[in-house]
Amino acid sequence: MKRKVQVGIIGTGPAGLLLAHLLKRAGIEALVLESRSREQIESTIRAGVLEQWTVDLLISLGLGERLKREAHFHDGITLRFGRGSHHLDFPELTGGKRVTVYAQHEVIKDLVAALPADMIQFGVKNVSLHGLDTDHPTIRTAEDEIDCDFIAGCDGFHGPSRQAIPANALKTYETVYPFGWLGILAEAPPSHHELIYARHERGFALLSTRSPEVQRLYIQCDPADDLANWSDDRIWNELHQRLETDEDWSLTEGPIFQKNIVAMRSFVCETMRWGRLFLAGDAAHIVPPTGAKGLNLAAADVVVLARALTRFYADGKEDLLDTYAATCLERIWRGERFSWYMTTLLHRNDAEEDFVRRIHMADLDYVVSSHAAQQALAENYVGLPMAF
Ligand code: FAD
Ligand code: DHB
């Protein structure tokens, strides 16, 4: 079937769905195409931390009701190393900003539920992009041919959008880390009232939360490791060791009902625009999860894109479309820097010399003893200023 839409969006991750909402609010017609089913996208376990402005954006779009009721709002994070804990007081350090923990798939559920059903097509197969260097790019699927004014490639790192850009036009930067995260969900009451980021001789560990009954935890592991090697006993044993402290604190255990391993990379595709194709979110950039930035960077991209498209449809001006990549990349590189910093600061990397390891320890000592250093970490963690 042949169809026509102003903006064709590929992917129902945070980038694609938020863009659909922003365009709908601006009166621009959009259609979102997703290869997976609604059940799949609503149950994929990923991010947890939202920047303050992302929360404010969701609320301003009328999408924050459940978030306000069910999210966890923390007054900072704890850094743990050398058997000691150090609380960073974010409201004091940032002029009132806090940490919001609300699972990505809950954001996805809220975004999907609030879009008209005819704006999303799930289970779409064989998506391909054509005519990107013309005024009428087309998305072909197994069943449809959709003529668009613009295509937004919001299809994540492995999607077809970035691959539709000629290889010789792509300008990319990448570094791959020699470790990954084993993430678990456990039916256990909270062990602590905020997130604990731990650096330990045995490797990094992170304690996060999902609800009063469910805790989210991560352990640094080999990215090629097999989940079969990680029995529940081994996971708890590692977590106890890596989160050890001389304080009166203990980790609460409970049945583990979900496990996965993710590899870690930093990646930036600076070619975020190719003709009438605009890349947003993980399609254009990846950060290691230690800084909790990925979802938030995806949201920032589509705010910039929606503003540019709104201007184009309101008065025919292409200036904001022309500056889209440059505008986004400023924030993206800052997010890349912070995510790389938090990752190298907190993980054990056997490829590093002992000297570098001691530098990381000195850095941690500096952070917890300097108000200025804490402020720098906190302002990045809660999110750099973003107008929307
Ligand atoms: P995605 O969420 O990847 O969405 C892309 C969509 O496109 C998918 O639904 C996919 O099915 C669809 N798609 C792909 N190919 C096709 C195709 N051929 N046709 C149609 N559709 C297609 N970020 C944070 O901000 N805070 C955190 O605390 C955080 N923690 C994380 C923890 C972990 C363990 C991981 C793995 C990630 C974490 N992130 C975090 C990163 C965050 O999850 C991603 O950055 C975010 O999902 C990016 O959103 P997106 O919309 O760009 O892409
Ligand atoms: C979570 C994920 C992160 O990447 C992070 O830095 C903090 C928390 C989480 O899933 O809760």
> What single string gives the DSSP state of each residue in 15-75?
HHHHHHHHHHHTT--EEEE-SS-HHHHTT-----EE-HHHHHHHHHTT--HHHHHH-EEES
pLDDT at 178: 98
pLDDT at 292: 97
H/E element, 10: strand 2-10
Measured from the Cα of 292, ligand 2's closest atom is 6
Tokens representing 359 are: 């530098």
Measured from the Cα of 159, ligand 1's closest atom is 15
From the candidates 177, 197, 218, 324, give the one annotated as an active-site residue: 197
Return the closest-CA partner of residue 88 out of 76, 99, 104: 76
Q: Do the beta carbons of residue 88 and residue 79 sit within 8 Å? A: yes
Measured from the Cα of 181, ligand 2's closest atom is 4
Tokens representing 180 are: 């990954």
List phi, psi (to 5°) of 122. -95, 160
Lining residues, ligand 2, CB within 6 Å? 47-49, 101, 195, 206, 208, 216, 289-290, 292
CA 102 to chain CA mean position, Å: 12
Lining residues, ligand 1, CB within 6 Å? 10-16, 33-36, 41, 46-49, 104, 124, 127, 154-156, 159-160, 181, 183, 262, 281-282, 289, 292-296, 298
The ranges of the chain with pLDDT < 50 are none
Helix, strand, or coil (residue 186): strand
- DSSP letter for each residue of 129-152: EE-TTSSS-EEE-SS-EEEEEEEE
